[in-house]
Structure 1
Amino acid sequence: MSIKLPKPITDFVEANARLDIDGMMEPFLKDAVFVDNGKRYVGLAEIRRLLVEEAIAVKAIFEPDTAREEDGAVVLEGPAHGDFPGSPLRFTYRFTLLDEAIKTLETRVWK
């Protein structure tokens, strides 16, 4: 990935590229919130379960091709490919950081 991003986001994206669930979880705060197409997951256990079931299980790898700052958040857009219907699909990932960790992550698939 050639886009310059804050370390927690880079760590998450790079771990996702390896399908490394522990690496994907490492940058999150303990009380982080993950909003996946409008559904909220709060805390590390719920986020891990979501990522195992929705990313790792189908080998979904997100490859951001654009990045911008928007209202204090870092917004990435790009395709995700894997073993799921419609692959690849284009996603938006919106990260909010606190103390060098991911506080919130909101994902949305483009339709």
Structure 2
Amino acid sequence: MQGRLPNGTLIAVKKLSSKSCQGNKEFINEIGIITCLQHPNLVKLYGCCVDKNQLLLVYEYMENNCLADALFGRSSLKLDWQTRRKICLGIAKGLAFLHEDSAVKIIHRDIKGTNVL
């Protein structure tokens, strides 16, 4: 879902499953770690909202949807091989940062076309 902050910044809001085993305290701690990560190949997480069983993540808004849409023809984007190579290198750089260069080492565990913007 798309939204806008009071300062006019476009955001993307993701609603997480209320069936998650993770408690609210653990969720908030994890969000605190993730919001400190800054890298050009990672979408910025602005914050979150916890209201009873509803967990919301507030992300930087990115145009053009996800990589899966482009790869499977659900987008008007046409990806030549040079662009595909650039995307792959960007993914690798973002993962290398999470795995090796960030203050807290993070393993993503869910890399797929729908998670690449």
TM-score (normalised: structure 1): 0.27
Give the number of the structure whose alpha-carbon radius of gyration is greater. 2
Structure with higher helix content: 2
Structure with higher strand content: 1
